[in-house]
Amino acid sequence: MRESIVKLTGLSKRYGDFAAVAELNLSVNQGEIVGIIGHNGAGKTTTLKMIVGLITPSEGTVDVMGYDMQKHGLKVKKSLGYLPEENPLYENMTPAEYLSFFADIYGLPRDVTKERSTELLDSLKLDAGNKLIGELSKGMKRKVAIARTLIHEPELLILDEPNSGLDPLTSFFIIDYLKKLRQKGKTIILSAHNLFHVEYICDRVAIIKQGKLIVFDTMEAIRKSMGKREFEIIFRSDEPLDYERKDDNYFLKTPHIEEMAELLRKISDRNWALVDLAIKQSALEDIYLDIMADEKAT
């Protein structure tokens, strides 16, 4: 069993009578990517800010790498990297100067800083030359921010909408880059509105609604417990049949495995031609929308 690197216990944050986060319990294991999703105002960003120590919980504890974040925050922060959704940069610096500035804050030796900066700029395909950050595209600026988050080789990454507002190509590049970081042993907690990316990259997914944790599990387990399955059979027959038809093909779509099996037996027994058989599972987006529409799931 992998070691738990982040553990949230009874975590709550209230602003007056409003509970932004309510009694949140979850743990993140070393070397996995966990996605936190929910509607605007669900408590995602508040949760991430409590993990990195920017917001003090009203109740509960945040344990990071074996330390209570409220008691040992300075020690823990040296081993984590945080990327906020809105991340103003020093636009009068070049990317290399910017990374060097933050490397100095973390006390990195100059030779290590140069090596790390070159490695990050290359791996992120951030060939900006001598351009200032203010002259870069939004996608390149986001890459600079990610490089800054990684300059001190953090063990844990907390990323709030890492590909927010980016074009599809740059967005998917960053998602693939995060997968490579996981392969190097990094632990990543991220929030995202693009559920396809969450489903593609995350080992486990937490769905939050109105500050409360609704589900936290692997995609396989979430599909099994909350998703829907549909069988689709396409076949041909010279007989007139009571099935949906398009051109020369008959169709059957059903969630019932027994109905699918019965039709397959008929196709075999009567020598009809099986054209295609597909099993379609609910995507994360389908499950998420069902949860958000369910008034009882709060």
Q: Which residues, listed in sequence order, are joined to residue 102 by a DSSP beta bridge?
A: none
232 token code pair: 């689709």
CA of 214: how far to CAs of 26, 47, 88, 224, 269, in Å? 11, 14, 33, 15, 47
Question: Hey, CA dihedral for 65, 68, 72, 76, is it positive or negative?
Answer: positive
Task: Render 126-186 in DSSP notation, one character per residue.
Answer: ---TT--GGGS-HHHHHHHHHHHHHTT--SEEEEESTTTT--HHHHHHHHHHHHHHHHTT-
**Count of beta carbons in the 10 Å neighbourhood of residue 269:** 8
**Mean per-residue pLDDT pooled into runs of 10, the chain (298 residues):** 86 94 95 95 95 95 93 88 92 94 93 93 87 92 94 95 87 91 94 91 95 93 88 92 91 89 91 91 88 70
């396989």: which residue's tokens? Answer: 220
Cβ contact 28:189 at 8 Å: yes
Strand stretches in the chain, DSSP E: 4-15, 18-29, 33-38, 59-64, 67-68, 80-83, 156-160, 187-191, 204-209, 212-217, 229-236, 244-246, 249-254, 273-281
Domains of the chain: 4-224 (3.40.50.300), 229-281 (no CATH)
* pLDDT reported for residue 86: 87
